[in-house]
Amino acid sequence: MISLENISIGFPEKILFDNLNWRIPRGSRIGLVGNNGTGKTTLFRTIVGLAHPDKGNITLPRNQRIGYLPQDLIELKSNIDLVSYLKDKSGITKLEHSLKSFEEHLTSLSPESSKYQTTFKKYEKISNLFEHRGGYTFSVQAHKVLKGLGFREKDFTRQCTEFSGGWKMRIILASILLSSPDIVLLDEPTNHLDTESLEWLEGWLINFTGTIIVISHDRYFMDKLMTKIAELAHQRLTIYQGNFSYYLKEKIKRQELLQKEAKNQQEKITKTQTFIDRFRYKNTKAVQVQSRIKMLEKMQIVKIDKAPKKAAIYFPKCPRSGDKVVSVENLAKVYEEIPVFSGLNFTLHRGEKIALVGVNGAGKSTLSRLISKRESPTAGKVHLGHKVNLAFFSQESSQNLNYNHTVWEEISDESSSMTTGERRNLLGAFLFSGDAIYKPISVLSGGEKSRLALAKILMQESNFLILDEPTNHLDTITKELFQRALLKYSGTILIVSHDRFFLDNLITRVIEIRDGRIYDYPGNYSYFIEKRAQLLTETNDGDLYNKKTEQPKQRIKTLNKLKKQKEAEERNRIYRQNKDILDKLKSVEERIKVLEKNKVGVESQLCDPLVLKNSNKVRNLMIDLKKYNQELKTLIKTRKELNLKINSPLPLEGEG
């Protein structure tokens, strides 16, 4: 059992948990949910020892292995191939070395000696552990897990550093599954998986007998696997005995009961306070008054969730296009003489909402870029129809933001019919509110930049949207608002996404890219899954994606190695050179916030007539104010210099 007792964690500007208690029985399957910023990831990091509580204790079961998948990318060890890395991370390499060492030692000892017997017992213990961890079958299991997560045979000998960010997250996930864990903590595991890999992972987790705790915005995933939901809100944890759908219904019921309880409590407080005010100065009622005052002091106020602000996401008025929005004729794309696909023919019509699906590397993003004219085809043509105004979003869209701008400046500069109020509401819906809209874009996280880029797309007067993984960095509420906006959108939508619930309630047609060809399914996502399952059955081998007739093995290698590798290397280079600056900038920003808060406090006191009568106190306050102003002046100058550094062109490694 995992036990959290009276855990408290806070920051100067916010308290995450206050005396949080949680007991997690062995074999639990729990989905951890809560609004952005409530501390879900921090709680995971605290359980695994990467963060420490301000107070309280965490007790973990002895001799149990914990596998933790973080949400953010961890850089992998260089100069090591994929399978060797997994072997190291699972502990098998270390056990192999121990066995070899014991074997060499035993050969130098006499079998009759007591030292031999002692050494042999240790050897036996390591040997049993090696067998228990699957050491003898590791290679077979590693290949099985890697294939399930979408890797190909030729990937197994590639260096870990050759893979892009999304594939590196899959490698980390594979290392967790192969480490024989007793407890698995997964923070947004579905973000980097395509449908096939996600279904394989679900199958693995269904058969897993240990403890599973997952943070995820994927409703299908949570419904299929979780038997409990733990919600973080108001610095405390509430447990719901059921899957995610049950949690949503039960939460409404509990909220209604709490509202009634809060109303009754408030009536009681008002009645009690009226009695106190009426009889406060009557000696005959003094005992009763004091009794009621103590009762109010001890009363625990019922807390209820505030009704969320009415937020909405919508598109500007959509100009009407011709009936044929896109016509694709004999389209082909080749990278470095390796074909991605060829001979593609299809037409998209006005008002259609189409999902573009396929395994990672099938060419979904490539096709999106070709249709959006971001790339040119090797052969064939893409015809955009009459009066088509196209807007394109991809994970690279955030790179087109002006890093010298603040969030508000970026939105204000965008040409749109939206008013200032509408622009602010849009930012609020995408989780930029209050002072956050004045943050420099250069200090935003990758997810924040992606959300801002997506918000800008919504401001354009388009009638054809191409969206490549738009929901990766959206929380549940924002995702629902975005889905509603897309449902009301009267134009045409082509969307690449692995979010099954999001797609199922939105799209009316599925186009699958498989083996360099197009397969068209006229229906929603559930219809596509059903038809694909029939095809899997008809092939008898249960695998549409690894048939002998397939071409993609070499194509996948090229897409990953030539294109994604270059992109990943460039991102890593920029990340390494910017990391120190970003860390310093974050520290400076946090200190500025503290100083500004302290300054406001001092200025408030200096406006107090009672304080002004005390000359010593005024003098001390003025000294503090001067000190805060001087430090603020220095830090603001430092912040400006750091922002200039991070926005300056970075030299290539090895250059002066």
520 with 634, same domain: the answer is no
414 with 339, same domain: the answer is yes
In a domain, 490, yes or no: yes
pLDDT for res 572: 63
Token pair, residue 26, equals 């062995």
Q: 79-114 burial string, b = 16+ CB within 10 Å, else e?
A: eeebbbbbbebbbbbebeebbeebeeeeeeeeeeee
572 with 522, same domain: the answer is no
> Which residues on neighbouring strands pair with residue 339, listed in sequence order?
334
Q: Which domain holds residue 442?
A: 324-550
| Listed residues 275, 305, 335: the one ending a domain | 305
In a domain, 140, yes or no: no
pLDDT for res 561: 47
User: Residue 316 — φ and ψ, nearest 5°?
Assistant: -60, 165
In a domain, 50, yes or no: yes
pLDDT for res 377: 93
The distance of Cα 276 from the centroid of its chain, to the nearest Å, equals: 52
**Per-block mean pLDDT, blocks of 10 residues, the chain (656 long):** 90 82 94 86 91 91 90 74 88 88 84 84 87 85 91 87 82 91 92 84 93 91 94 89 92 88 90 89 85 88 66 81 94 87 93 90 89 92 94 82 90 86 86 86 81 88 91 80 89 91 90 88 87 69 44 44 52 65 82 87 80 79 86 86 61 37
Closest listed residue to residue 82, CA positions, set 523, 624, 588, 561: 561
Q: Tell me how long the chain is.
A: 656
DSSP string, 615-646: HHHHHHHHHHHHHHHHHHHHHHHHHHHHHHHH
536 with 566, same domain: the answer is no
pLDDT for res 536: 65
578 with 455, same domain: the answer is no
In a domain, 164, yes or no: no
Reduced to 3 states, what is the DSSP secondary structure of residue 551?
coil
pLDDT for res 604: 81
Rounded Cα distance, 398 and 453, in Å:
5
Query: How many domains are there within the chain?
Result: 3
In a domain, 167, yes or no: no
360 with 259, same domain: the answer is no
439 with 543, same domain: the answer is yes
Looking up residue 529, the CATH number of its domain turns out to be: 3.40.50.300
In a domain, 163, yes or no: no
360 with 488, same domain: the answer is yes
Q: 406-432 burial string, b = 16+ CB within 10 Å, else e?
A: bbbebbeeeebebeeeebbbbbbbbbb
Which CA distances in Å does 359 have to 151, 194, 463, 513? Answer: 10, 6, 28, 8
285 with 402, same domain: the answer is no
194 with 343, same domain: the answer is no
Rounded Cα distance, 205 and 431, in Å:
32
In a domain, 615, yes or no: yes
pLDDT for res 402: 87
Closest listed residue to residue 352, CA positions, set 317, 385, 374, 382: 385
Rounded Cα distance, 17 and 32, in Å:
14
464 with 365, same domain: the answer is yes
| Listed residues 530, 550, 570: the one ending a domain | 550
Mind spelling out the 3-state secondary structure of 573-612?
HHHHHHHHHHHHHHHHHHHHHHHHHHHHHHHHHHCCHHHH
H-helix or E-strand spanning residue 92: helix 92-107
In a domain, 123, yes or no: no
Query: What long-range pairs does 39-46 form, CB within 8 A, spacing at least 24?
Result: 39/9, 39/232, 40/187, 40/215, 40/232, 41/70, 41/71, 41/187, 41/215, 42/9, 42/16, 43/16, 43/17, 43/232, 44/68, 44/70, 44/185, 44/187, 44/213, 44/215, 45/70, 46/7, 46/9
pLDDT for res 73: 67
Read off the pLDDT of residues 472-518 as tens digits, 9 standing for 90 and up: 778 777 888 889 889 999 999 999 988 888 898 899 999 999 888 88
| Listed residues 494, 516, 550: the one ending a domain | 550
DSSP summary character for residue 326: E
Q: 559-585 burial string, b = 16+ CB within 10 Å, else e?
A: bbbebbbeebeeeeeeeeebeebeebb
433 with 500, same domain: the answer is yes
Reduced to 3 states, what is the DSSP secondary structure of residue 129?
helix
Looking up residue 630, the CATH number of its domain turns out to be: 1.10.287
* Contacts for 146 with CB less than 8 Å, ≥ 6 apart: 82, 83, 86, 155, 156, 174
User: Residue 262 — φ and ψ, nearest 5°?
Assistant: -65, -40
Read off the pLDDT of residues 163-187 as tens digits, 9 standing for 90 and up: 877 788 899 999 999 988 999 999 9
